[in-house]
């Protein structure tokens, strides 16, 4: 009988390695449930969950909603566009109004870093961070590590290169925390303008040449260029980025070994990843999506046991 | 804590032999019958039954393991969540005669959860319950076992422990344990 050391999932930073293992072992069992004819279990039938999305999302939102429904929770959805947020309501007021309807857990995505942390200090409901600005995206990092564990047997000792827009990526930061806690070696790679200063202090290697990064790693986690978060020009043109940092089948075939290609989505085909690489046997991109539901079920299940 | 031996090693073997013969009496060649051991402890009983049946019949009987964690009715009512175990059922239970196997029948709530969990795999022709120990007069639900190793009268403050032979324990034994009085 084990439980998580936290009440909320705000970031990977707060988790212990034992927490991550517990989530993985629970997700293994949920993955089994998802492969049955009847993919539903009644565990969370007395829990109501609100998915509160202040920022656009396809995968994460669908994945959370499906996970909640597979656990038999009652689900309500909220998106900022078309809501009273546009009329000037504050975050705390919005969430308190949702909670007044007797909601037990909040899954939240917000464009500001630290928004779920702020909320956790003011409300009683359990919070799952579904991405806060450029800070953390814990469930994505968990499903990434879970997918590596599934593909390669274990995460410990494996070499993972995170390639692309590290500066604006919450996926990168959460992945670095998760992989470090699981004992993997991590490298970040991208144009110098898109690498945060002092990133090496997190215990990662830094590489500017994508060929060297690919030659070093067992797994390449390729990230999207987040143009919507870029206030200024970080590189001359997308075409030039693709020329120097784009990954294609030819580049993968030129390596002396097989590496695994991951991408958290959405892919900008032909920019960071070419179609022949994204759809090749190297890629486990759709396995990541499949595992996302099992991981989110595990997180919700383990946190729901702490609902007051 | 007091420990009283209620079924010693030798008797346990005879008990399993008797239960195996009772099963054969009703299921004859097991062509449409399967055994499902409940995780975590019923699987050891199921394993031994399967071995015994195979010794007697000369052919293997289909045996699986069923986890009931996500179907329990005490989720969020206990201190911490129960760790889930694996379910291994590599055959269809649709239209089969299922024999659910557990070590101790107490409140009946685990069996209720097991019936629920099992339905996710198909609609069996019939379901029977086999337990090593039936704790009498303790049921919370209208559930009774068809095959019983031994009936035991016990208090709620007592616990039945089925020990299987492994590195730490030298023999198979069933104990009745009285929990320490809390002052």
Say if B108 falls within a structural domain.
Answer: yes
Residue B71 has pLDDT above 70, yes or no: yes
Read off the pLDDT of residues A112-171 as tens digits, 9 standing for 90 and up.
Answer: 999 999 999 999 899 999 999 999 999 999 999 999 999 999 999 999 999 999 999 999
Residue B183 has pLDDT above 50, yes or no: no
**Chain B residues in contact with A28 (beta carbon < 8 A):** 86
Comparing alpha-carbon positions, the chain B residue that sits nearest to A40 is B120
Average pLDDT value for residue range A28-47: 90
- Domains contained in chain A, number: 2
Which of A5, A19, A42 to substitute to test the interface with B, most B CBs within 10 Å?
A42
Looking at residue A298, what is its pLDDT?
96
Chain B interface residues facing chain A, Cβ-Cβ under 8 Å? 67, 69-72, 75-76, 79-87, 116, 119-122
CA distance B66 to B36: 6
Looking at residue B181, what is its pLDDT?
59
Closest CA to A41 of B91, B84, B89, B94: B84
CB A222 within 8 A of CB A192: no
Comparing alpha-carbon positions, the chain B residue that sits nearest to A308 is B76
Extended beta strands in A95-243, E state:
105-110, 126-132, 159-163, 185-189, 205-207, 219-222
Read off the pLDDT of residues A175-230 as tens digits, 9 standing for 90 and up.
Answer: 999 999 999 999 999 999 999 999 999 999 999 999 999 999 999 999 998 888 87
Compute how many other C-beta atoms are within 10 angstroms of the C-beta atom of residue A220.
Answer: 27
Q: Whole-number mean pLDDT of chain B?
A: 90
Same domain, A102 and A160: no
Cα atoms in the 13 Å half-sphere on the side-chain side of B57:
21
Say if A2 falls within a structural domain.
Answer: no
CB A29 within 8 A of CB B117: no
Same domain, A147 and A112: no
Average pLDDT value for residue range A11-18: 96
Read off the pLDDT of residues A249-305 as tens digits, 9 standing for 90 and up.
Answer: 999 999 999 999 999 989 999 999 999 999 999 999 999 999 999 999 999 999 998
Residue B78 has pLDDT above 90, yes or no: no
Supply angle C-alpha B44, B46, B47, rounded to 5. Answer: 65
Comparing alpha-carbon positions, the chain A residue that sits nearest to B88 is A32
Same domain, A81 and A169: no
Looking at residue B167, what is its pLDDT?
78
Looking at residue B180, what is its pLDDT?
67
Q: What is the DSSP letter of A13?
A: G
**Chain B residues in contact with A25 (beta carbon < 8 A):** 83-84
Q: Which of A32, A37, A44 sits opposite B87 (nearest CB)?
A: A32
Same domain, A201 and A104: no
Say if B124 falls within a structural domain.
Answer: yes
Q: Whole-number mean pLDDT of chain A?
A: 93
Range of the domain at A194: 138-284
Question: B85, A305: Cβ pair inside 8 Å?
Answer: no
**Chain B residues in contact with A46 (beta carbon < 8 A):** 76
CB A236 within 8 A of CB A213: no
Comparing alpha-carbon positions, the chain A residue that sits nearest to B118 is A38
Range of the domain at B124: 33-68+89-154
Task: Tell me if residue A60 falls in helix, strand or coil.
Answer: helix
- How distant is the Cα of B110 from the closest Cα of chain A, in angstroms? 14
Same domain, A32 and A44: yes
Phi then psi for A205, rounded to 5 degrees? -80, 150
Question: B81, A32: Cβ pair inside 8 Å?
Answer: no
Same domain, A16 and A62: yes
CB A119 within 8 A of CB A92: yes
**Chain A residues in contact with B116 (beta carbon < 8 A):** 42
CA distance B174 to B160: 7
Looking at residue A134, what is its pLDDT?
93
Question: 0.90 exceeded by the pTM?
Answer: no
Q: Which CATH number characterizes residue B118's domain?
A: 3.40.50.2020
- Domains contained in chain B, number: 1
Closest CA to B35 of B116, B106, B90: B90
CA distance B110 to B118: 12
Question: B87, A1: Cβ pair inside 8 Å?
Answer: no
Interface A-B, measured as beta-carbon pairs within 8 A, has a size of 57
Same domain, A218 and A125: no
Residue A126, both tokens: 């359990």
Residue A1 has pLDDT above 60, yes or no: no
**Chain B residues in contact with A2 (beta carbon < 8 A):** 80-81, 83
Average pLDDT value for residue range B8-37: 93
């Amino acid at each position: 009988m084990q439980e998580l050391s936290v009440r909320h999932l705000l970031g990977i930073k707060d988790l212990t390695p034992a927490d991550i293992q517990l989530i993985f072992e629970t997700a293994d069992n949920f993955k089994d449930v998802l492969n049955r004819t009847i993919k539903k279990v009644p565990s969370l039938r007395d829990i109501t969950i609100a998915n509160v999305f202040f920022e656009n999302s396809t995968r994460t939102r669908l994945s959370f909603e499906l996970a909640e429904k597979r656990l038999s929770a009652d689900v309500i959805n909220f998106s900022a566009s078309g809501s009273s947020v546009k009329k000037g309501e504050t975050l705390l007021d919005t969430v308190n109004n949702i909670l007044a309807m007797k909601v037990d857990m909040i899954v939240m995505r917000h464009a500001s870093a630290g928004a779920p942390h702020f909320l956790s200090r003011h409300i009683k409901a359990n919070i799952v961070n579904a991405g806060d600005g450029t800070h953390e995206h814990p469930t994505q990092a968990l499903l990434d590590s879970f997918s590596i564990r599934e593909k390669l047997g274990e995460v410990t000792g494996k070499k993972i290169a995170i390639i692309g827009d590290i500066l604006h990526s919450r996926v990168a930061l959460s992945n670095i925390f998760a992989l470090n806690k699981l004992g993997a070696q991590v490298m970040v790679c991208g144009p110098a303008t898109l690498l945060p200063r002092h990133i090496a202090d997190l215990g990662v290697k830094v590489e500017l040449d994508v060929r060297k990064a690919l030659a070093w790693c067992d797994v390449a986690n390729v990230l999207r260029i987040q143009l919507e978060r870029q206030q200024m020009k970080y590189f001359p043109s997308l075409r030039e980025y693709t020329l120097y940092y784009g990954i294609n089948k030819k580049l993968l075939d030129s390596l002396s070994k097989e590496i695994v290609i991951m991408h958290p989505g959405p892919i900008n085909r032909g920019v960071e990843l070419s179609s022949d690489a994204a759809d090749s046997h190297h890629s486990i991109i759709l396995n990541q999506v499949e595992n996302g539901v099992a991981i989110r079920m595990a997180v919700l299940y383990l946190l729901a046991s702490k609902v007051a | 804590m007091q420990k009283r031996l209620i079924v010693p090693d030798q008797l346990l073997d005879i008990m399993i032999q008797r239960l195996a013969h009772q099963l054969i009496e009703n299921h004859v060649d097991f062509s449409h019958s399967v055994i499902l051991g409940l995780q975590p402890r019923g699987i050891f009983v199921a394993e031994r039954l399967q071995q015994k049946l195979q010794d007697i019949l000369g052919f293997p009987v289909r045996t699986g393991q069923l986890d009931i964690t996500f179907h329990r009715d005490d989720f969020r009512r206990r201190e911490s969540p129960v760790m889930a175990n694996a379910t291994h059922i590599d055959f269809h239970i649709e239209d089969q005669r299922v024999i659910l196997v557990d070590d101790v029948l107490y409140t009946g709530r685990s069996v209720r959860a097991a019936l629920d969990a099992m339905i996710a795999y198909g609609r069996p022709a019939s379901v029977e319950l086999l337990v090593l120990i039936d704790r009498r007069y303790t049921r919370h639900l209208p559930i009774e076992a068809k095959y019983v190793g031994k009936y035991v009268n016990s208090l709620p403050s007592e616990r039945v422990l089925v020990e299987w032979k492994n590195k730490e324990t030298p023999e198979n034994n069933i104990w009745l344990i009285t929990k320490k009085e809390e002052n």
